[in-house]
Structure formats: structure tokens, C-alpha cells
Amino acid sequence: MSIEKTRVPSDAQWYCRKDPEEARFYEIFFSLCRKYNVRWASADEKERAFIEEVTRVTYEQDRAKRQGLSVKTIRPSFAG
């Protein structure tokens, strides 16, 4: 008797999939939280806005450098 293995779709598949860009973003995010001593869970609105913006710019600069692109195209911090 042969037991046939079937692949069952999982709602948790997205959780197990690894995205290197997402991982790099969060590495930068947590590094900056430590650098500026921000605890996300207890941060106020101003602290969160600061970390979000600094993370965005730092990540975009990092990605541009890794891809050999100019960092001049990245919107500067806190620019409307």
C-alpha cells in the first residue's frame, strides 16, 4: 500500500517564505531602534515617525548601493 503525499495549501505559507529584501529592511529597522534607543511598543507617535522615516531612507540607500543605482533618486528624509 502506497501512501501518496499531497501538498496541502497553507494559510501560513506566507509566514514561512523568506524575502531577503524584507529581512534586510527589518535588520535596518531594529538596528536603528537600538541606535536611537527607541522601544517600538512604547514609542510615541513622534518617535515612530522618526524611526519609520530614518529606516526608509537608510534602507533605500542600502538597496540602491547594492543594485549599483544612484542614491540621488531617493527622496530625502522628511521631505514632503
Share of the chain above pLDDT 90, in %: 61
Q: In whole angstroms, what is the distance from residue 48 CA to residue 77 CA?
A: 14
Whole-structure pTM value: 0.73
Nearest to 63 by CA among 32, 28, 17: 28
* Structure confidence by residue, pLDDT tens digits, 28-61: 999 999 999 999 999 999 999 999 999 999 999 9
* Residue 6 burial (CB count, 10 A): 5
Positive or negative torsion for Cα 68, 76, 30, 52 = negative
